[in-house]
Amino acid sequence: MLDVSRNFFGVTYVKKFIDRMAQYKLNRFHWHLTDDEGWRIEIKHYPLLTKVGAVRGPDTKLPFTIFPAMRGPKNRVQRGFYTQSQIRDIVAYARGRCIEVLPEIDIPGHAKAALVSYPKLLTDPKDTSRYRSVQRVANNTLNPALESTYRFLDGVIAEVAALFPFGYIHLGGDEVPKGAWEHSPAVKALMQKHHLKSRREVQNYFFARVDTILAKHGKKMVAWQEVLKGRPKLRKEDIVMAWKSPQAGYKAVKRHRKTIMAPVHYLYFDQQYTRSKHEPGHTWSTPVSTRKTYSFDPGSSPYLIGVHACLWSETLLNEKIADYLAWPRALALAEVAWSSPKQKNWVDFKRRMKVHALPRLKLQGVHCRPVD
Ligand code: ACM
């Protein structure tokens, strides 16, 4: 997964990223296209999503004062999005390399960029809820009780479904902030009408409805593990991504949910390799060394359908940092994905990295980190 919302990466870099994935047999490119800090995919029916929602900084609706590029300059405007024709080009490029592209539209939380673009469609004017996400972004969540929310999502999903031939669309579902919806009269009315007793049930209602929209457009859903809270009415083919721990993944498997393992302590490549002020990357979880990634054993079950690493981009101020955080950890991911635990051998892997992979990547212009 590459996050292009927090910091934007152009077409050339995305293609290079895809080339390197193909070289090491990573066959699904999860493209995190929207978040609080920017909406990065052109939607013809909703042009303000990119006109307003893809630009942040002074004098814009997404100012750096609320969304600092972490450790980056705060007084500059940052912008960027992909046109539909660029998206088609990238999807075809990836397909030519046996990689399917999974687009993510992160809802209902992580949606500040959409909300500032279309406030009238997406907010209940009488909602007095005030809340912040774990990343400290204020009031960033779609309202699940407005018909206009579903009309909007239907329009967005129709275009996304037409652009991406892969059978799945990722709809996020992570980190809906506490306090969202709390003082929305529309949500109160919705709860009464449908006998929903808790926030969780409201979220379940929301995802059941958006899953119906996906079905109408011939797609199935991927979502982060939070969608499994409560009793969501999802389809059997829908997939969850377990990110908080391997145990969260096993729990989903027990419930006979198709599951992808993306546990933060092993597979979050936005985290530092080691705890040091000289290392780039995030520090909110534990460090993730290449060896730690290599040690991950996802287990086996017919419901465990893959492993997946996340390159969130809050601290990715340039392509060099992105390269550094991805490589060589992505080499370890490839072996975790395709080798049985019995075949794995850290010493041999380290030797092969040193002799083959790292010199090759260097020649290809990748700014790799040395092996730990
Ligand atoms: C996540 O890290 N919020 C999926």
- Three-state SS annotation for 184-196: CHHHHHHHHHHCC
- Amino acid 67: pLDDT: 53
**Is residue 166 included in any domain, yes or no?**
yes
DSSP of 231-248, one letter per residue?
-----TT-EEEE-S-HHH
- Amino acid 231: pLDDT: 85
Across the beta sheet with 258-261, the strand order is: 2-3, 28-32, 100-107, 168-172, 220-224, 239-242, 258-261, 304-307
- For residue 320, what are the domain limits? 2-363
Q: Which atom of ligand 1 is nearest to the CA of 243?
A: 4
Separation of 86 CA from ligand 1 center, angstroms? 26
CATH number of 23's domain: 3.20.20.80
This model's pTM is above 0.95: yes
- Amino acid 281: pLDDT: 94
As for how many domains the chain has, the answer is: 1
Residue 256 in this model has a pLDDT that exceeds 70: yes
**Is residue 318 included in any domain, yes or no?**
yes
* Residues 68-83 pLDDT 10s: 555 666 778 889 999 9
* Residues 273-309 pLDDT 10s: 999 999 999 999 999 999 999 999 999 999 999 999 9
- Amino acid 62: pLDDT: 87
Residues 243/263, Cβ–Cβ less than 8 Å: yes
Whole-number Å distance between alpha carbons of 254 and 234: 16
**Is residue 188 included in any domain, yes or no?**
yes
Whole-number Å distance between alpha carbons of 258 and 239: 5
Separation of 268 CA from ligand 1 center, angstroms? 9
**Is residue 370 included in any domain, yes or no?**
no
Could you list the active site residues? 35, 110, 175
Torsion angle, alpha carbons of 38, 366, 331, 250, to 10:
-10
Interior angle at CA 57, CA 51 and CA 63, nearest 5 = 95
Whole-number Å distance between alpha carbons of 10 and 12: 6
User: Which of 224, 268, 313, when mutated, tests ligand 1's pocket best, judged by the most ligand atoms within 8 Å of its CB?
Assistant: 224
* Residues 84-129 pLDDT 10s: 999 999 999 999 999 999 999 999 999 999 999 999 999 999 999 9
* Residues 155-194 pLDDT 10s: 999 999 999 999 999 999 999 999 999 999 999 999 999 9
Residue type for position 178:
K
Separation of 36 CA from ligand 1 center, angstroms? 13
Q: Which atom of ligand 1 is nearest to the CA of 310?
A: 2
* Residues 313-340 pLDDT 10s: 999 989 999 999 999 999 999 999 999 9
Q: 372 falls in which pLDDT band (50, 70, 90)?
A: confident
Q: 143 falls in which pLDDT band (50, 70, 90)?
A: very high
- Amino acid 69: pLDDT: 59
Q: Can you give the C-alpha Rg of the chain in angstroms?
A: 20
**Is residue 120 included in any domain, yes or no?**
yes
**Is residue 261 included in any domain, yes or no?**
yes
**Closest to 357 measured CA to CA, from 333, 328, 335:** 328
Q: Which two tokens stand for residue 47?
A: 């042009």
**Is residue 245 included in any domain, yes or no?**
yes
**Is residue 372 included in any domain, yes or no?**
no
